[in-house]
Amino acid sequence: MAQWNEDIVSAEIAGTLDGLLYQRVRRTPEALAYRHFDAASKQWLDTSWREVGDAVARWRDALAAEGLQPGERVAVHLRNSREWVCFDQAALACGLVVVPLYTDDRPDNIGYMLKDAAVRVLLVQDAGSWRRLAPALEQHDELKRVLILNRPEVAPPELVDDERVRFVADWLPQQADALVARNGDPHGLASIVYTSGTTGRPKGVMLTHHNMLSIAHSALTMIDCYQEDLFLSFLPLSHTLERTAGYYLPMMAGAAVAYARSIMQLAEDLQQLRPTVLIAVPRIFERVYGRIQGQMAGKSALARTLFRYTTEVGWHRFEREQRRAGWRPRLMAWPVLRRLVAGKVTEKLGGRLRLAVSGGAALPLPVARIFIGLGVPILQGYGLTETSPVISVNVPDDNQPDSVGVPLNGVEVRIGENNELLVKTPGMMQGYWNNHAATADMIDPQGWLHTGDQARIENGHIYITGRIKDILVLSNGEKIPPMDMEMAICLDPLIDQVLIIGEGKPYLAAIVVLNPDGWLGLAHHYGLDPYDDASLSNEKLCSHMLKAIREQLKDFPIYAKVRRVILVHEPWTVDNGLLTPTLKVKRAQVLEQFDREIEALYASGPVGRG
């Protein structure tokens, strides 16, 4: 690209999130805003900022006609799309408060959130979505309007007969007056985002316009973003990382966003769209890492050696760029290695990737080393929904991949009691909706937000070392943080999910969800029936998996010894209540489900002392 141009709308100029769109439409009306795939024509279609402004004006007028009062709540239950943005912006322009919902969350969870927030208007994807949600909302008298985006060819009678239901195409006016500046209160409530806690009911995080604007703007003071950038959006917009960094931030910078069709089609979308910026959770990088490792296992010794050498040279090149290593003769081989090996990987990501940001959970260092060694510029960050969400991020010229970066400009951090990371930030929530006790537990009288994460700070970088509530205390008093162990174990291609257990016990064990494809091969190797649950208790199979786990933990301290294993093949999902919508394992629920197996395992003693 010949030239990269900046055009940032500051948080002060925007004032509010709807003010941000107003300023963007005014500044660059004909520039590309969004790209989406049209199933009918099987083509990617573009939308300009002027067209976005016109569409938002129609949504705004339709919402205004519902007679809602400023401060009332509306909810969005859509896949990532322009319509998600239009509804959000229109609601904000009416002074309403937006409640984002995960499309794959359980209906009972969604029902609780809608009732807790007294939501008045709900936008859903299609008739099937409403059919699944409706039973959970039978007693929700506050819900005045249900909007269905995709109209079915024949509307079911229950939709026609429900006076609350409207199809968006009928509900929207054909024309609307142009957007005008609302001049709303920057510190007014903009959104209630329900955290998908690993224990108990979700809590509603109250975020203001200023909270999210200030974090987006602070990030742009540390990481360059240009009008020519193209973001690929596939994390749910209900995830605060995607919403702030993948929606408000590119709008602030005048960059464009393309909406991926699905996770299953992500590889194809990457090559067709050729994005320059990617925001993802570690699981995406881990899956690609696992595929690469699996492919390498089937190649010749020469190919494996060449790949390993390429990543080593690429990593040394990165360390030299970071001023942490000197020049070595092998760096002269990089142009050839990039053409023969590394370039083939980066081309599969579109070939134009300038930045890849990983957040939402910890990124294992071996995964980061592989990608960075191949020339994929991964920046790991850290944050909480309660902080809008970014607290820290690595920057291109000061990237420590085993850290979660340096605090954003304007964010204060310190280490408190029990090595807990404490934060003061302009992104700090107003509190939890209808939950003053939980707010007081999170934010102390001095204004410090307690993250619940243990950390250390070195050379300005934050290193997360554990989760206070997840620390396991063995019967001998030894304290063990399981998070890093679990991440390392999941790098084995045979293992999809794992939970380290051992609270109050004499040794550690693990509950392991096997990779479906790997399990079939493993069962065949040991002559087992893969469809018989009894096969999962086979002694040789368990020994094989313990050996694999120990191999992944070989570089860990002496405490990281897993003595026993419980093998399962049914994955932990949002639907079965063992994962949160942000794909975090609900530790308490998993322990409850496998209570009998855990009791029997510890009753029989450890397998070995290896």
Residue 548 contacts residue 492 (beta carbons within 8 Å)? yes
pLDDT of 609 > 80? The answer is no
10-16: average pLDDT: 97
Region of poorest pLDDT, from 39-48, 161-170, 199-208, 297-306: 199-208
What percent of the chain stands above pLDDT 90?
80
Under DSSP, the state recorded for 40 is: T
From 457, 479, 447, select the one nearest 560 (Cα to Cα).
Answer: 479
Rounded Cα distance between 81 and 36, Å, is 8
pLDDT of 71 > 90? The answer is yes
φ, ψ for residue 529, nearest 5 deg: -85, 110
- Which pLDDT does position 208 carry in this prediction? 98
Rounded Cα distance between 437 and 257, Å, is 39
- Which pLDDT does position 610 carry in this prediction? 42
pLDDT of 1 > 70? The answer is no
Under DSSP, the state recorded for 398 is: B
363-382: average pLDDT: 94
Q: How does pLDDT run across 465-495, given as a tens digit for each residue? A: 888 888 888 877 777 888 889 989 999 989 9
The mean of the pLDDT values for the chain is 93
pLDDT of 121 > 50? The answer is yes
Residue 511 contacts residue 568 (beta carbons within 8 Å)? yes
pLDDT higher for 80 or 583?
80
439-465: average pLDDT: 95
341-369: average pLDDT: 93
Helix-helix angle 516-525:539-552, to 10 degrees = 130
- Could you give the domains of the chain? 11-184+223-278 (3.40.50.12780), 471-603 (3.30.300.30)
**One-letter amino acid of 335:** P
Rounded Cα distance between 165 and 152, Å, is 13
Take residue 561 and report the two structure tokens written for it: 């010894």
From 282, 202, 182, 297, select the one nearest 241 (Cα to Cα).
Answer: 282
Rounded Cα distance between 23 and 306, Å, is 51
From 404, 452, 449, 454, select the one nearest 427 (Cα to Cα).
Answer: 449
- Which pLDDT does position 198 carry in this prediction? 53
Rounded Cα distance between 532 and 530, Å, is 6
pLDDT higher for 230 or 569?
230
Dihedral of the alpha carbons of 539, 541, 545, 548, in degrees to the nearest 10: 110
**Confidence band for 2, pLDDT divided at 50, 70 and 90:** low
φ, ψ for residue 466, nearest 5 deg: 170, 175
Region of poorest pLDDT, from 72-86, 129-143, 299-313: 129-143
Instruction: Cite the beta strand spans of 542-597 per DSSP E.
Output: 562-568
Question: What is the per-residue DSSP string for 122-188?
Answer: EEESSHHHHHHHGGGGTT-TT--EEEESSPPSS--HHHHH-TTEEEHHHHS-S--PPP------TTS
Residue 47 contacts residue 256 (beta carbons within 8 Å)? no
pLDDT of 201 > 50? The answer is yes
From 449, 445, 407, select the one nearest 428 (Cα to Cα).
Answer: 449
Residue 436 contacts residue 429 (beta carbons within 8 Å)? no
